[in-house]
Amino acid sequence: MPTSHLRMENKTAKTRERNKDKSKQEFLDAVGKILTTKGYTSLKVNDIANAAGLDKKLIYKYFGGTDQLLDEYIHAQNFWNNVEEEPLIAEDTDGGKTAAKQILSNQFDFVGNNIEYQKILIWQLAEERASHRKVIDEQEEKGEVLFTHMADRYFGDKAADFRAMMALLVSGVYYLNIYAETNGSVFCGIDIKSPGGREKIKEALNFFVDKAYEDLK
Amino acid sequence: MPTSHLRMENKTAKTRERNKDKSKQEFLDAVGKILTTKGYTSLKVNDIANAAGLDKKLIYKYFGGTDQLLDEYIHAQNFWNNVEEEPLIAEDTDGGKTAAKQILSNQFDFVGNNIEYQKILIWQLAEERASHRKVIDEQEEKGEVLFTHMADRYFGDKAADFRAMMALLVSGVYYLNIYAETNGSVFCGIDIKSPGGREKIKEALNFFVDKAYEDLK
DNA sequence: AGTAAAAGTCACCAAATAGTGACCACAAGA
DNA sequence: TCTTGTGGTCACTATTTGGTGACTTTTACT
């Protein structure tokens, strides 16, 4: 409790910094922290305010309510998690084969290492929510340009088949990592949390991509 | 338990049938109903009792509490959802290739058509829980005998590679169906809820299995 | 019929959770 | 210095949720 009344201090005044934007960010951070450690079902106003070290009244003042705070959090997250897909639209000499491998492998590691993102994925699976829909639509749109640019052109009338294969692989990447975190990490006898197991999965991903490009062309 | 001896029913007895076993079952059914329609986060005592048309006190009397009721529900479900995997341990002439295709395709349809099972899968992903762990362990064990029987023998030192591939495909089958139900059904441009989209996924599954057996041997 | 055990209901309490009005405190402009 | 806008706290209410003791009703058995 910063009941320190002497605020005449020239500098050392420890009274809480009064900054709306910073406080808003602290609420957003608190959401991420709670989401990561306890899951989306624990995102209650009281707990969020407590984690942020601020009064819950401010959530209503600044965001309008818990839902709007969560919406803002969700949307803010979407920007960060998409950065890693960009940097490899490199050479098109192989129709995007190495790019596809890269993306899958990167995504596999990213999801595996990022519990916060795992929790967001679970949240998307579990709760119908306009802001989830929006984020998902944005991601689909982003994926769409990737597919049309590199794969559709390359695969012609087999484009849809390639997309189906990628859908399976990406889904597998997501599920395996989410699965491994909560109630046991062994799936089909592969320990998804062990380096050896993860290596096997990556090899399987590469194998499937190779075969897709080999046979589909 | 079977206290049902012949009771002198006069007929018109309008009073609720007093039957512990039946009431227990009604609670279990209520859990399934709420889980299916509103998700695991809505599994509250009051609502469950209400859905069952009985007093919540009975939940404490019969099960010990909500948690134990949920545990019993989870365990009971496990029996039903595993039935579909049995009937196809047919000929071993192809090392289990057609069996693998069958299992994946069947599982894809089963999960897609069974929202209750989808919700259980989500629940497993979202909540750490001893009964989930137990069910998952049992499933792993069941899968283990399948793998050792048909695949490990056939693939020799490549057995782990095959398992990794199957892990990816099964995971994909799960995730795609769960994903499609809640916040949008299009993934990688494939509409997972449309017959055409589902057909493409199945073809991709078959393709991958073929390639696995082709190259891994 | 009479009775005891068990099925089932109801009223009630306690804790958790969402939400808000009244207030305090600091900074900047008048 | 005083006033005002606003960041921030606190106390309070209402609702939801979990849990239980006391009671009533039915059944099974003598």
pLDDT at A44: 98
**Rounded-to-integer distance, Cα A138 and Cα A4, Å:** 47
**Rounded-to-integer distance, Cα B135 and Cα A182, Å:** 13
DSSP state of A151: I
Q: Do A87 and A71 share a structural domain?
A: no
pLDDT per residue as tens digits for the range A8-29: 333 333 446 789 999 999 999 9
Q: Which of B50, B3, B43 is nearest to B22 (CA)?
A: B3
pLDDT per residue as tens digits for the range B59-112: 999 999 999 999 999 999 998 887 655 555 555 678 899 999 999 999 999 999
Q: Do B121 and B53 share a structural domain?
A: no
Instruction: Out of B76, B109, B130, pick the residue that ends a domain.
Output: B76
Residues of chain B positioned with their CB less than 8 A from the CB of A137 = 184
Range name among A75-79, A103-107, B146-150 with the lowest pLDDT average: B146-150
B188: left (phi over 0), alpha (psi -120 to 50) or beta: left
Q: Do A197 and A101 share a structural domain?
A: yes
Instruction: Out of B76, B106, B132, pick the residue that ends a domain.
Output: B76
Reported confidence tier of residue A83, pLDDT bands at 50, 70, 90: low
In this predicted structure, the answer to whether residue A96 has a pLDDT above a threshold of 70 is yes
3-state SS, residue B187:
strand
Task: Give the HSE-up count for residue B145: Cα atoms under 13 Å, Cβ half-sphere.
Answer: 8
pLDDT at B88: 56
**Rounded-to-integer distance, Cα A109 and Cα A131, Å:** 25
Residues of B numbered 129-158 whose beta carbons fall under 8 angstroms of chain A's beta carbons: which are they?
Answer: 129, 132-133, 136-137, 140, 143-144, 147
Looking up tokens 């009721």, which residue turns up?
B69
Q: Do B69 and B84 share a structural domain?
A: no
- Å: A27 CA to C8 C1': 47
Q: In whole numbers, what is the pLDDT of chain A averaged over residues?
A: 90
Q: Do A115 and A56 share a structural domain?
A: no
pLDDT at A85: 56
Q: Do B156 and B94 share a structural domain?
A: yes
Q: Do B139 and B115 share a structural domain?
A: yes
More confident residue, A85 or B92: B92
User: Which CATH number do you get for residue B60?
Assistant: 1.10.357.10
pLDDT at B4: 33
Q: At what angle do helices B66-81 and B130-146 cross, to 10 degrees?
A: 10
Nearest-by-Cβ selection for A203 from B164, B173, B176: B164
Query: How many residues in chain B?
Result: 217
**Is any atom of nucleic acid chain D found less than 7 Å from the CB of residue B68?**
no
**Is the separation of the CB atoms in A202 and A106 below 8 Å?**
no
Which nucleotide in the DNA or RNA is closest to residue B58, CA to C1'? C8
Distance of CA A20 to CAs A28, A58, A204, Å?
A: 12, 9, 49
Q: Do A110 and A8 share a structural domain?
A: no
Range name among A136-150, A161-175, B12-26 with the lowest pLDDT average: B12-26
Residues of B numbered 167-206 whose beta carbons fall under 8 angstroms of chain A's beta carbons: which are they?
Answer: 167-176, 178-179, 182-184, 186-190, 192, 197, 200-201, 203-205
How many structural domains is chain A composed of? 2
Q: Do A204 and A114 share a structural domain?
A: yes
In chain B, the largest separation of any two C-alpha atoms, in whole Å, equals 72
Q: Do B163 and B119 share a structural domain?
A: yes
Instruction: Out of B43, B76, B109, pick the residue that ends a domain.
Output: B76
Distance of CA A212 to CAs A96, A136, A160, Å?
A: 12, 26, 12
Q: State the nearest Cα–Cα gap between A114 and chain B, in angstroms.
A: 15
| Helix and strand numbers, DSSP H then E, in chain B | 10, 2
DSSP state of B190: E
Average pLDDT per block of 10 residues along chain B, 217 residues long:
32 59 98 98 98 98 98 94 61 84 97 98 98 97 92 93 98 98 97 98 98 90
Reported confidence tier of residue A84, pLDDT bands at 50, 70, 90: low
pLDDT at A151: 87
Distance of CA A53 to CAs A14, A20, A50, A59, Å?
A: 15, 14, 5, 12
**How many contacts, defined by CB atoms under 8 Å, are there between A and B?**
194
Q: Do B142 and B55 share a structural domain?
A: no
AA identity, residue A77: Q
Q: Do B160 and B95 share a structural domain?
A: yes
Per the structure, the complete domain to which residue B144 belongs is given by 79-215
